[in-house]
Amino acid sequence: MELNKGKRGGTSVLKENKRVRIELRDSYLLLPSSLKDLCKAFEVSTQKGCFQHDKVNANNLEEFKDECLNYLKSDLKGLYEVIAVFYDKMIREYNMNINDYISLPALALGNYRSNFMSESADIPILRGRCEKDIRKAYYGGNVDVYKPILENGKSYDVNSLFPTAMLGDMPVGTPKYMYKPEIDKFFGYLHIETETPKHIDKPFLQINDEGKNISPVGKIKG
């Protein structure tokens, strides 16, 4: 049997003068969640089983062979059922074949362009200086850990702030450069120079310095 590399990570197998193409894909790219959660969410008949991995070692593997194989078979069957349900749902509701997309973002974009995007709309492809300048605005988020202290008061926790913010307006369309715009009428990306007071204990304005996100005090720009 001769193996030849194919495109997109697939492998062509030459057997008895017949070429069969086998393509391996990572289901996690389309369904980024644990198998246990996926089986519950899709309500498939085969649910994720339980297995005490720490009790198996090289010396007693044969002893737990049947239990281990049944566990693995259950995992494979459950994942197959999840993908089948997902496939049928996308075909039935959106006429989208998940096999044409290698990741969930690609599938979401394809679904949007096929079923929700108007014919007059356009998604510009940004390149060159414009793309580089916009990418400079994406730093990632700050993650700080604090020990809360409360005396004679009430505490409130807010869930899903990020998804809520994503429901607001986002910059779209073909961008154009502006110099000294009217800030109260401007919507987009800004390159600014400002100054953070040096007495602030926990500054929150970020800049990217040689690949690292920092929140300095004093004069900054970005």
* More confident call, 185 vs 75: 75
Banded model confidence at residue 166, pLDDT cuts 50, 70, 90: confident
Dihedral of the alpha carbons of 200, 205, 207, 213, in degrees to the nearest 10: 80
Cα–Cα distance for residue pair 51/221, rounded to 1 Å: 54
Question: How many residues does this entry show for the chain?
Answer: 222
Task: Kindly state the helix (H) or strand (E) to which residue 80 belongs, with its residue range.
Answer: helix 65-94
Nearest to 125, CA basis, from 173, 188, 191, 166: 173
Radius of gyration of the chain (CA): 26
pLDDT of residue 26: 92
Cβ distance 4 to 11 under 8 Å? yes
pLDDT of residue 4: 46
Phi, psi of 206 (to 5 degrees): -100, 150
Q: Can you tell me whether residue 50 is helix, strand or coil?
A: coil
Banded model confidence at residue 13, pLDDT cuts 50, 70, 90: low
How does pLDDT run across 16-51, given as a tens digit for each residue?
A: 667 888 888 899 999 999 999 999 999 999 999 888
Among 108-112, 170-174, 180-184, the least confident range:
170-174
Helices 65-94 and 104-111 sit at what angle, rounded to 10 degrees?
A: 20
Q: Over 60: is that where the pLDDT of 9 sits?
A: no
pTM beyond 0.75: the answer is: no
Mean pLDDT of the chain: 85
| Mean pLDDT confidence for 6-13 | 49
CA-to-CA separations, 42 to 50, 83, 98, 106, 174, in angstroms, rounded: 19, 9, 16, 21, 39
How does pLDDT run across 89-109, given as a tens digit for each residue?
A: 999 999 999 999 999 999 999
Cβ-proximal residues to 61 (8 Å cutoff; 6+ apart), any chain = 68
Quote the tokens at residue 80.
């197959």
Cβ distance 43 to 58 under 8 Å? no
pLDDT of residue 125: 84
Q: Over 50: is that where the pLDDT of 2 sits?
A: no
